[in-house]
């Protein structure tokens, strides 16, 4: 019988896993301890591991002669020693599309809140104010430009939503052609063009070596004084120290950050204090449906493997 061990998770119960694996004729075990020695022992007797944040290193992989697949609830697979897994013929799968609607909505909500100055008015009225002049006069949506950094699944969905509202949308992505973007009514642009001319800049590149601090001093200094930056991707894409400086000095209008260089953000971090910053705690993905989808898809990866099929979300 194909055996799967659930190493770690964030769910209230594991009834969904239990029922899906039972229906597929798979033996399902939940690891009770997160101790490394327990993970090694469990891996030894498993055909597949289901993980959330647990680190699966060389020692675990080399002690697991039957292991065929590691499936992760989520996108990033940096906690798995991919090199050793590949060497040992162990496949790795993830779920890379469980929150495309949620994250694109979150970026859209940030753009719209910035555009209509909701957060400025809310702060002012909550301390007794009542004046539309409290906020800088906004542009009409069809006169404003949104620049997307990266043009993968999430920004593509965001662009569809923005176009319906009337925004001009440009995107920077060296790996997506001008023709592909034009099919969505999006104009391909350089990074500098986006930084200099957009009213809202929304970050969606993955965090890789090439994008670490992609947005630094030079790029932030290109921004209009009236522009907002929105980051729902990964904190380290922006050089946060410089971002804090430009926000403090009012050199840009504001920032909406779902992600920060360090998570959780320290209690005393300056970003928490700045009036022109709106923070959310890496929550852009969060919804009833995303919660279920991430589980069903990570489980399905394993069921497929047990049936001799390559998992749908196999990491190449
Ligand atoms: N805040 C959250 O809750 C949350 C949830 C899910 C995903 N995310 C983040 O959103 C990011 C985007 O997700 P996605 O599904 O759109 O990704 P995706 O994998 O579909 O697309 C990534 C895009 O980035 C482009 N890219 C790669 N290197 C680049 C570079 N140097 N400069 C510009 N573009 C580059 C690629 O060509 C690709 O089009 C993820 O990497 C993840 O970090 C955040």
Q: Following DSSP, what letter does each residue of 252-306 receive, concatenated?
A: SSEEEES--SSSSPPTT-GGGT-TTEEE--S-TT--HHHHHHHHHHHHHHHHHHH
Q: What is the pLDDT of residues 70-82, one digit of tens each?
A: 999 999 898 999 9
pLDDT digits (tens, 9 = 90+) for 183-227: 999 999 999 999 999 999 999 999 999 999 999 999 999 999 999
Domain 100-279 in CATH 3.40.50.720? The answer is: yes
Q: Give catalytic status of residue 263 as yes or no.
A: yes
> How high is the pLDDT of residue 155?
98
Confidence of residue 316 (pLDDT cuts 50, 70, 90): confident
pLDDT of residue 78: 86
CA distance 85 to 52: 17
Task: Say whether 28 sits in a helix, a strand or coil.
Answer: strand
Cα(269) to centroid of ligand 1, in Å? 26
Closest atom of ligand 1 to CA, residue 155: 16
Instruction: Find the 212 Cα to ligand 1 centroid distance in Å.
Output: 13
Q: What is the pLDDT of residues 9-39, one digit of tens each?
A: 999 999 999 999 999 999 999 998 889 999 9
Domain ranges of the chain: 3-98+288-306, 100-279
Residue 34 confidence (pLDDT): 84
Distance 15 CA to ligand 1 centre (A): 32
Share of the chain above pLDDT 70, in %: 100
pLDDT value at residue 32: 87
What does the pLDDT average to over 254-269? 96
Angle between helices 288-306 and 15-23 (to 10 degrees): 30
Comparing 166 with 316, the larger pLDDT belongs to 166
* Residue from 148, 158, 204, 260 whose mutation best tests the ligand 1 pocket (most atoms within 8 A of CB): 204
CATH topology of 3-98+288-306 equal to that of 100-279? yes
Mean local confidence (pLDDT), 154-173: 98
Residue 180 pLDDT greater than 90, yes or no: yes
φ, ψ at 113 (rounded to 5°): -65, -40
Shortest-distance Cα residue to atom 22 of ligand 1: 152
Return the number of other C-beta atoms located less than 10 Å from residue 202's C-beta.
Answer: 30
pTM of the model: 0.92
Instruction: Give the pLDDT score at 76.
Output: 85
pLDDT higher than 90, residue 134:
yes
Query: CB burial class (10 A; 0-12, 13-18, 19+) of residue 213?
Result: middle
User: Among 271, 149, 123, 147, which Cα is nearest to 197's?
Assistant: 147
pLDDT, average across residues 151-178: 98
The three-state secondary structure class of 176 is coil
What is the C-alpha to C-alpha distance for residues 210 and 271, in angstroms, rounded to an integer? Answer: 25
Per the CB < 8 A criterion, the answer to whether 147 and 198 are in contact is: yes
Q: Which CATH number fits domain 3-98+288-306: 2.50.20.10, 3.40.50.1820, 3.30.390.30, 3.40.50.720?
A: 3.40.50.720
């Amino acid at each position: 019988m194909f055996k799967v061990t659930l190493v770690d998770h964030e769910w209230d119960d594991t009834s969904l896993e239990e029922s899906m694996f039972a229906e597929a004729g798979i033996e399902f075990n939940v690891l009770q301890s997160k101790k490394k020695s327990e993970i090694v022992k469990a891996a030894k007797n498993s055909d597949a591991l289901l993980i959330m944040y647990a680190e699966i290193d060389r020692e675990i992989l080399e002690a697991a002669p039957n292991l065929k697949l590691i499936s992760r609830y989520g996108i990033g697979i940096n906690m798995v020693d991919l090199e050793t897994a590949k060497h040992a013929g162990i496949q790795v799968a993830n779920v890379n599309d469980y929150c495309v609607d949620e994250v694109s909505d979150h970026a859209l909500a940030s753009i719209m809140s910035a555009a209509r100055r909701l957060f400025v008015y809310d702060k002012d009225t909550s301390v007794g104010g009542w004046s539309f002049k409290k906020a800088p006069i906004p542009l009409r949506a069809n006169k404003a430009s949104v620049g997307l950094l990266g043009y993968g699944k999430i920004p593509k969905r965001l662009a569809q939503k923005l176009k319906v509202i009337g925004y001009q949308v440009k995107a920077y992505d060296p790996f997506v052609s001008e023709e592909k973007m034009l099919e969505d009514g999006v104009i391909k642009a350089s990074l500098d063009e986006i930084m200099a001319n957009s009213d809202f800049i929304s970050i969606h590149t993955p965090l890789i070596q090439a994008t670490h601090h992609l947005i630094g001093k030079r790029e932030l200094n290109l921004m209009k004084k009236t522009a907002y930056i929105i980051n729902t991707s990964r904190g380290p894409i922006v050089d946060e120290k410089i971002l804090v400086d430009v926000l403090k000095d009012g050199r840009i209008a504001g920032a909406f950050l779902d992600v920060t260089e360090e998570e959780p953000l320290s209690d005393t971090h300056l970003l928490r204090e700045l009036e022109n910053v709106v923070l959310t705690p890496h929550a852009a993905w969060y919804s009833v449906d995303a919660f279920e989808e991430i589980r069903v898809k990570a489980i399905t990866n394993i069921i497929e493997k047990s049936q001799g099929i390559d998992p749908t979300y196999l990491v190449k």
